[in-house]
């Protein structure tokens, strides 16, 4: 739902990088999005298409890298990887698990000319 705000955050970072590094154009932008980040990837792609117009990254290829969801199981004490927020612990079957990662939203890197 807030993908437009995220896209604006991405543009701010790109604009700052353009000022710092003096490149002409971003050709590829790589984002890392955690599985539990609450980001709807098609919505973010649509928002970026609009927000990046007129920037050095207009028309850049967007790659989104999924990062896994991780959680701590309160019953067996292990940190486990889960695909879905409501999945039980894959080791002991407990439902008492707390997300420990997978909410990342990062610009990893970008290729520029």
The binding site for another protein (CB under 8 A) comprises: 1-6, 8-13, 15, 17, 21, 23, 27-28, 30-31, 36-38, 40, 42-43, 45-47, 49-51, 53-54, 59-63, 74, 85-86, 95-99, 104-113
Instruction: Name the residue among 68, 47, 34 with its Cα closest to residue 2.
Output: 47
Closest approach of another protein to the CB of residue 80, in Å: 14
Q: For 17, which DSSP code? A: H
Q: In angstroms, what CA-CA distances link 21 with 9, 17, 34, 48, 54? A: 18, 6, 28, 21, 18
Closest approach of another protein to the CB of residue 50, in Å: 6
Question: What 3-state class would DSSP assign to 33?
Answer: strand
Closest approach of another protein to the CB of residue 100, in Å: 11
């Amino acid at each position: 739902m807030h993908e437009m705000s995220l896209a604006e955050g991405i543009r701010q970072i790109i604009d700052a990088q353009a000022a710092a590094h003096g490149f002409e154009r971003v050709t590829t932008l790589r984002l890392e999005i955690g599985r539990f980040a609450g980001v709807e990837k098609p919505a973010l792609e649509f928002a970026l298409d609009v927000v990046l117009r007129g920037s050095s990254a207009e028309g850049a290829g967007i790659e989104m890298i999924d990062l896994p969801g991780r959680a701590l199981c309160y019953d067996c004490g292990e940190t486990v990887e889960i695909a879905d927020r409501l999945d039980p612990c894959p080791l002991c079957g407990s439902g008492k698990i707390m997300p420990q990662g997978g909410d990342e939203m990062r610009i990893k890197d970008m290729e520029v000319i």
